[in-house]
Structure 1
Amino acid sequence: MAYKKTQLQALAKIKRWGARHYQQPGEFLDWALPEAVAAAPECTLIFSELGQFARLHTAGKRADPGLAADVIATIAREVRQGARNGPRQLPARVCRRLEVADSLVLRLQTPGGPGAVLVALSESAGRLGESSRVFVMALAQIIENVLQAIEIRRLNALVPSVLRAKRQWELTVDSLDRLVGLLDSHGRVLRVNRQVEAWALGSVQSAAGKSMHALLHPDCDDPECRTRQALASAWMQMLDDGDAGCAVELPGQLPQTGYCQLRRIAVHDTGEAPEHTFAILTVHCYQQRESEASAEEAAAGKLLAGQEGERRRIARELHDGIGHSLAVLKFSLEGLRREVNHSLDANSLQVIDRIVAQLRDSMDEVHRLSTDLHPRYLESRSLPLALELLCEDLAAGHDRMVIDCRADNDIRDPDADQKLAIFRVAQEGLSNAVKHSRARQVFVELTQADGRLLLRVSDDGVGFDPERQAQSGRGHGLANMRERAEQTGGTLEIHSVPDGGTVLSASWVATRDQDGAAEGPGDPAAPTRQRARR
């Protein structure tokens, strides 16, 4: 009787303390199993969930991790084969292999998991008597209840965090300057953000259950309404393609056109019916979108201006700092060579000559980098003359390529931003032709017609596929040229086919600098400059 009393006291303690003092299942089991074994010393207890990589908890004389893993693997295999759920013993062959005389296997339900098992083992046959078996079964029930209580406490603790996150998300969506809503599979509104109130289309609460047309046109009963038809057509297209869009008329305080986007939500195997949340509706105002585009354009312009300023600073540092130091070093070595010309042998003089040649090459490289970063051609020169000098420098370094520059000398310089953009586009186009085209001839033309400046850079090289280049993500130079042109009121097009050469065409609405005249001198006798270099 005293023995049974000890077991009852152990069960009461495990039940009371487990539900009150433990927040994690692992901590509870690591404490509870030794408490139970102390009241039933003939038992070795093993607990484990049946999922993969589950942690083992053991207590008793045979509390060996290897033995426990073997037992759980055997039970898991039996469960997969459809073993019954009630109390049972391990198979006799398994007991012999594990040197176990008696056993009891109990299945437990765990919150949100594949289930667990509690196993009692004894080395002596018959030692798991009636009282011990009842004790282990009661222990299994208590463990199951305590684990459920721990999970409930964990979920309750999450509720404030979930509610707070939900509120934060609602505030985020409500702050958007466009209408966003969730639709069911019939196109009815489930939820919508507060932009519906800002646009005087009704309240958030009244929007629930409405069709898209009733939401955007609250008082419209015209069956031939263009917005109704456009929304119906877009809905059918979304069902086929996954997304769609259409223009819509926005009434009330917003008598203007908007753009509606529909995107179907992918339904995963979550057990949720598709009609609960089926699609997302987004509506923009064109006026709003245009202002956003203007803001983006202004930001891009500031970015380009900042980049040019930084390029100018680095170019100045290269030219005035490193370039000057290299020049001083070169002149010093040349002077030293003249002084020691008769006192050194031929090999030593050749070493000095090689060092001077390397310094000269380094100075040329610094000059090239400085010019690429900030085009000194443009300083106190007209745009046609700057393009001519650029072509001359490139032609001087490429003997096998003819670079022909034809720039109308009567063109008056545009404003500084446009002048720089035209030069940069020509520079990038020439650089691409020199590096990649393998052309024999490259032509650069700058003309003016019908109030527009026209730039054309063409070659007879190997060509390429512009569409494929853009898809490959390697066309950054082409994208930068197009952005420069568009930022200064121009357009740019690339025409090229493999083995068919390349033609870059760009045009700008002609502007004028503040003085209304070209910065560089003109040559009345030669309205068009033409240079070719081999």
Structure 2
Amino acid sequence: MKNRFSSIRYILIRSHLYNMFLTSILLLTILLSVYVLVEPEWLSVQGIFLFTILYALIAFIISLYTGFKDIGNILKTKLDSISLLITQFSNGNYDSSIQFPKSMDQEDEITRIAKDLNELGNKLQNQVKSLQRMADEKADFAKSAHKAAVIEERQRIARDLHDAVSQQLFALTMISEASIKQFEKNPVLAKKQMKEVATAALQAQTEMRALLLHLRPVHLSGDTLEKGIHKLIEELKQKSSIDFKVSIKEELKLSEAIEEHVFRIVQESLSNILRHANANKVHVDIFKKSKELFVHIQDDGKGFDVVNDAEKKTSYGLKTMRERSEELGGTFVIRSIPDEGTYIDIRIPC
């Protein structure tokens, strides 16, 4: 109720009533002064008060009419339209604009502000297109560098295999041979060595899974976004017990750059969930509505404090997802509740 009476319409009415009150007091003072000093025959005390009351009543009715039907209604309609347009801009709907009716299309300050906002929306829309065009060019450069990156990655994995897994396998071999020799002489020592073998084998298996995780595809490689994400989910189902639910509308008709970025965003978010969330269920929902692409990713994991845990390792992945969303002119919002789960909402103009 308080917010309602603080609107421009009631401010205008209060201004009119205040002016009416001051004018009524001034008229009453002047007429009483004339009556006392001059005492004309045509002027009486009853006439003075009757005139003042009628003036106040008529001014009150005109104030209400002006506030609700005339100037106040026009001002409120224009300001509400400007407020709605700003809200649309903040949500990424840059193709929105204001079109006043002919009866309100006057060359006043508010109309000029509305026209400036329309021009701003056109400029923002052009900037989004420029960002997406740059993303397309960036995707082309990424493909050119892909072959060199593959060679470098093979060399790195070869080094990791030599430095980690091969050494662990060598240690497994040595401990196994030693435990075989101790079975009859010292069964207690042989049992201890076999426990070491099991621990080393588990560690080697973990290292191999980590290396295979780096080998999973980081590009769609000609697949559609829907097919690429389903392939990624099927691969992750084999490596975890998480219940994945995927909902992707068919025929999204997105540019190649948007598909690549969205795929990498989903991939990064699922990777974070596998490593940090300890979740049982994950839901991925991707759909296109009007001229925007919506991406919702949620899990029922342990969650985290978005503000206080920003310095943790997960923040790097979140930063990457946010940057990819903003490169496409979109918005990235993350909400997380400890012990309840994490929700990621992304909106990208298409």
TM-score scaled by length of structure 1: 0.31
Give the structure with the larger strand fraction: 1
Q: Based on CA coordinates, which of the two structures has the bigger radius of gyration?
A: 1
